[in-house]
Homo-oligomer: A and B are copies of this chain.
Amino acid sequence: MKIAVDGMGGDFAPQAIVEGAVLAAQQHNTSITLVGDEGRLERELDRLQAHALPITICHASEVVHMDEAPVMALRKKRFSSIRVAMELVRSGEAQAVVSAGNTGAALGAATMILRPLRGIDRPAIATLLPTQKGASILLDVGANVDCKSTQLFQFGIMGDVFAKCILDKPYPAVGLLAIGEEDTKGNDVTREAFLMLKQSDLNFIGNIEGKPFFHGVADVVVCDGFIGNVALKMCEGVAEMYGQALKTALTRTPWRRLAATLLRPALQDIRRRVDASEYGGAPLLGVNGTCIIGHGNSTPKAVKNAIHMAQRFLEERVTERIQEEVERNSDIQDASGARGRNIWRHIRSTMSFRGEREEEDEEVTSEP
């Protein structure tokens, strides 16, 4: 089991990345291939006196920078570290990729080189968010804008497997992000996805509003990547604003500064609870291979945790289990696809939905 780590991706690459890889190798004895500029990576390993660890280097002469347009950069830079890392997984020299670099480039390279799993339209980025009960998974958070209902359905399946693996929940509660809890709330796409999820063998608990998400009512919440990304970033913005307001309020007078000193452990507790680096990365689910994407500003600890997440993914066979679950639920997708393709069947199924007369489509459409 070998994990390819994009040594050049991230705001603090290669230093933070190599340090994180060294920590992972020391603490979990993970076999790692650092991908990137050989000279620079070698110097970092020298600095950390890490040559005895199970870390090798695979040279890649180019880098996709954080602010580059991903598609163009991937096309031009055939020897970029992220492409070379993905190629290592495709050829079987590694089993997983971890990158804290340009997210669009990692997504593009994974889609292009590893390819989506059978029955998955496009991969999705899943993220763990803290809730009042612990943590819940939100996906997609940015890989797909304008999702179809089948994609939302696939996100549900992928999130379910992720939750089983990472949250240790045997039967995770899966919800659909919506603007009301009633079954009929939402737009056309979410209403169709609702019906599909309801028929699946997932533990689907229905529509979830934004506020109950943070009460932890669902383990997995599914949404369009546009909405997920906007919501995620807004939540980060609120958290940052609160942090700033607290900091300002607690340093205004000497008395407050004294009290704040007494409260430092309490404030650190809170920060730890909502600290993204505890999780380390967001998996890109639905491709042939494990792929964990870290924040651009990943610290060594975040990189270490992202590598550890990749390792758990491999041990738990997440990719294979997603493939199995998609296949087990393929009839639901097929029925929905047929509805989309065949207008006559679509009209009939709508009629059967209203009047519950047509037997053929009843299973698909007569669920409440």
Residues of A within 8 A of B (CB): 130-132, 142, 145-146, 177-179, 186-188, 209-215, 223, 225-227, 229-242, 244-246, 249-250, 252, 255-256, 258-260, 262-263, 266-267, 269-270, 273-274
Contacts and interface: CB of A to CB of B under 8 A. Distances in A.
A265 to B, nearest CB: 8
A228 B144 CA distance: 18
A269 to B, nearest CB: 5
Nearest to A255: B262
A179 B250 contact: no
Given A226-B227, A242-B239, A146 B266 contact: no
A328 to B, nearest CB: 30
Nearest to A138: B234
A240 B130 CA distance: 12
A259 B263 contact: yes
B266 A263 contact: no
Contacts of A213: 233-234, 237
Which of A209, A235, A246, A260 gathers the greatest number of chain B CB atoms within 10 Å? A235
Contact of A263 (B215, B237, B263): B263
Contacts of A145: 179, 186-187
A260 B249 CA distance: 13
Contact of A240 (B188, B214, B267): B214
Contacts of A229: 179, 210
Nearest to A131: B241
Given A210-B235, A213-B237, 16 more contacts: A132-B244, A145-B186, A177-B230, A179-B230, A179-B233, A211-B233, A211-B240, A212-B237, A214-B241, A223-B230, A238-B239, A241-B274, A242-B270, A242-B274, A249-B269, A258-B262
Given A245-B270, A249-B266, A230 B233 contact: no
Contacts of A238: 214, 235, 238-239
A270 B242 CA distance: 8
A255 B259 CA distance: 10
A108 to B, nearest CB: 14
- Closest 10 A-B residue pairs measured CB to CB? A210-B233, A214-B237, A210-B234, A249-B266, A259-B262, A211-B237, A259-B259, A179-B229, A145-B187, A211-B233
A275 to B, nearest CB: 12
A49 B214 CA distance: 43
23 contacts: A130-B241, A131-B241, A132-B241, A146-B187, A179-B225, A179-B230, A186-B226, A209-B230, A209-B233, A210-B231, A210-B235, A211-B240, A213-B234, A214-B237, A214-B238, A234-B235, A235-B235, A238-B238, A249-B270, A250-B266, A256-B262, A258-B262, A260-B263
Nearest to A186: B145
Contacts of A215: 237
Contacts of A263: 249-250, 256, 259-260, 263
Contacts of A267: 249
A225 to B, nearest CB: 8
Contact of A237 (B210, B241, B244, B250): B210
Contacts of A270: 242, 245-246, 249
